[in-house]
Every structure is written in C-alpha cells, then in structure tokens.
Structure 1
C-alpha cells in the first residue's frame, strides 16, 4: 500500500490511497486545538483494529461457510498522558446468525489474531467481547 499524506493546516491532514484515490481526512481532537469534525489519527488506529477483526473473519470465514454480513464492532478507545499514547481499546463484536460452537471459536480466534491485533503494542490493554445474536 502506498499513500500520500498531506498536512492541510488548521490541524487537519488528508491521506490519499495511491491505487484507488480514496481519501481519509483526520483532525486533532478538541483538547489539542482541533475541531473534532473528523476522526483523529489515534481514532483511525482504533477503528482499524475493529475493521481488521471483521475483515479477517469475513475473508477467512466465507470459504468455510461462515458469513458475518451485518456484524458490528462497537469500539471505545482511551488515551493515556505522559507520554501520550493509546491506553485501552474496548470492543463489543456483535455477529448475527446461528453458529456452531466450533464456528464461534473460529470467529473469536480469527478476530483476536487479525493483522492489526498482532501489531498493537503489548502495553495497550485490549478487551474484546463477542455477542452472537442468533
């Protein structure tokens, strides 16, 4: 993946995906002089975790007959001061449909070992709860 990241001023940044042309705009949070009209960079980090979990389950699950269309991840991220960093990520993953115990185990293990999860620093406290709705 290649992207071009440009600081626009006023604590806003735009990132452009080279291949697709898609863009993501971020800004600083209110407490840091931003407007909070967009996700902050650390917000993007948090939602990348949730997206990575769902994508891993979808990509690896569909060939096994596991479909998670409509699945959601409710995510809360908090930061610690001095040095400022992401401190905790809390997720509730809700998956509609009926699954066997074996499929549920596959879903949970796949989500928890997604690429972003394996890249998060060990000092970040991650809590993930799974709710199967079916």
Structure 2
C-alpha cells in the first residue's frame, strides 16, 4: 500500500492523504515563493519532521526503558537559501523539563540527534539543536 496520496490543488497547494489512517493535510507555497502561506509549505514540513522524529524516537526509547520523558517542546526555525532554493538551516530550541538522571538525558539527546530524519537530510543542511533543561 502506498504511504500517501497527494493531489495538486491550484493555486500552489497540495492535499496529502495518509492512506492507512485517512488523515489529511494541506500544503501551500510560502509567501516569499508566490504562495499565500496559509498552510505549512513542503519545506516547513521537512524541517518540522526533524523535530517530530527526534521526539518520537526519544519517546520510543523512554517507553522501552520505562522512563518518564517529562515535558519536552520546541520552537523551530527554518532558514532558506537561494540559487538553488533549498533549506539552508534548521534550528531547534528544545525546552525540556525532566527528572531523569544525567546519563539517561545524554542517551536520549544522542538518540534524538541521530533520528532517521536527521540521518536522511542532506549534509549541507545545518542542523542546530539546542537543549535547554528546565
């Protein structure tokens, strides 16, 4: 089964359906690239996928090891480059409130930083991840 089905919707939008669940999302070209910027752009989703993947694999490790991950959230900034137009940098500022011992915090950080999306992004994309422990 295909993972998703995507349809182009003029002007400069797409609708993607996750085939297994039926959930959908729309994308829109960003304002600086002829769009309305009313939804995530495709490059927004690529950048957002990095943080989502990090948190997911950290959560999997925590669940498998009976650990309480605590409260973790982030703000993400995507920086674009021109010629060619591409993602130049992704900066993730993570705020994490946890009672885990330092060795587990370090394990979880390493797991997050080596998530599948982090390893799939082109090496020219700067991945700047900052952990702030609360």
Deviations 1:20-76 (A, max 9, x none): 000010000112221111010000000000000000000112222322253112110
Could you say which residue in structure 2 is the equivalent of 1:122? Answer: 123
Could you say which residue in structure 2 is the equivalent of 1:7? Answer: 8
Q: Does 1:58 align with 2:39?
A: no
Matches within 5 A, 1:76-95: 76-95=77-96
Contact 2:3 2:20 in 1 (8 A): yes
Could you say which residue in structure 1 is the equivalent of 2:97? Answer: 96
Q: Provide the rounded CA distance (Å) in 1 between the counterparts of 2:95 and 2:56.
A: 14
Q: Provide the rounded CA distance (Å) in 1 between the counterparts of 2:28 and 2:109.
A: 33
Residues paired across the two proteins, number: 133
Normalising to structure 1: TM-score of the pair? 0.94
Contact 2:26 2:39 in 1 (8 A): yes
Could you say which residue in structure 2 is the equivalent of 1:27? Answer: 28
Q: Provide the rounded CA distance (Å) in 2 between the counterparts of 1:52 and 1:34.
A: 27
Could you say which residue in structure 2 is the equivalent of 1:112? Answer: 113
RMSD between superposed Cα atoms in Å: 1.2
Task: Pick which of 120-129 and 64-73 moved more.
Answer: 64-73
Gaps of 5+ in 1: none
Q: Provide the rounded CA distance (Å) in 2 between the counterparts of 1:79 and 1:30.
A: 13
Gaps of 5+ in 2: none
Q: Provide the rounded CA distance (Å) in 2 between the counterparts of 1:123 and 1:102.
A: 30
